A and B are shown apart, each in its own frame.
Chain A
């Protein structure tokens, strides 16, 4: 009898069970594509856009409107005096000019868009009032490849997906088999326990390959998101990420008896990473004191490394810290769960 036969049969069984579960197939393959489409449309690049400036309707407003329109590059909105306080807050204009001598700028210091609008308005009004430029710089607008939001987003979505399917793919099937006493039935056969655990990982790798090809391929075809670095490096990171989160999935599922219990644990582990690890917005938005913690999270390491490959064209040699973090999470959780694992 072929010694790898049980491993092959276990892996095939696991894979068949997965593809015969339409909901699972949707979450793994269709969901990330839909997310990419939705966010890609919402944040598509629109080229240079006019700055919106609000001008409060009172004495001197006409001169200011005229100065801004003559300068060009502004969309001017006239604001009733009663609304002057609210207009910034409710998003009608990022900056409000209150005419006077000197004029007053109302803006939101915490918003980059508001800051930029204030600078643009100020430069236009100063120039209209007679300030001369010290020099005329050569303007060279450029669109860097890999610098759009969608370029940044796709590796993050890929990372999130690898985390989700890795943890669910391994964790859910273990707990389901345990709660149906199928694990107990399997260990009543001569099956090797390592074969069972390995088969979960192997069947995961089959879906992982499809998943990465679909997401990356779709982003490339629909949004021109190109992998700047070596494709094999991206593949290697996806593999490492899948193994790492597979290990975490095993850990989370090592003792849980019910689907409800494991779902709660899964969310407990994954939710902080969805927020902190820079899927939809950069992790650098969080305070400095949190950064060391954020950086040792496996999803942060995976996202950072995949962005470096996809957007910056780097290869694995410059990503050793991230690789080490992923390898550590995967191997430690795997070893610990083997100790904790409840077969019955």
Chain B
């Protein structure tokens, strides 16, 4: 299993190929969303909606042998692509790694310029929620230890 940093490097090189072509970059993000494993309908409930996103983003997480597994979906394709990028980097990683991840790749690929301020705020909300899940699972695990 590659580390978070290694996965981030992978994504940075993919985006480098796209260069400054913003339309292609956005299409690429949308295509990444297409590959996201489907979120079962039963998880598409208001309790799983991330607050602070203009689009609807449902996110849920569980734990498998100390590794966090995320499942998500969105009603808009670009947002689905964005959450799929985060899942690609954070899925299956140890809880502490997720909590401490700085996700510097987003800055390196200039994501805030690609998606604009409103969606950047939404992206920040997604990251916050994913870290919250990891933190909650971590706290629970320490309480059980």
Determine if chain A interacts with chain B: no
Which residues from chain B sit less than 8 Å from chain A, CB to CB?
none
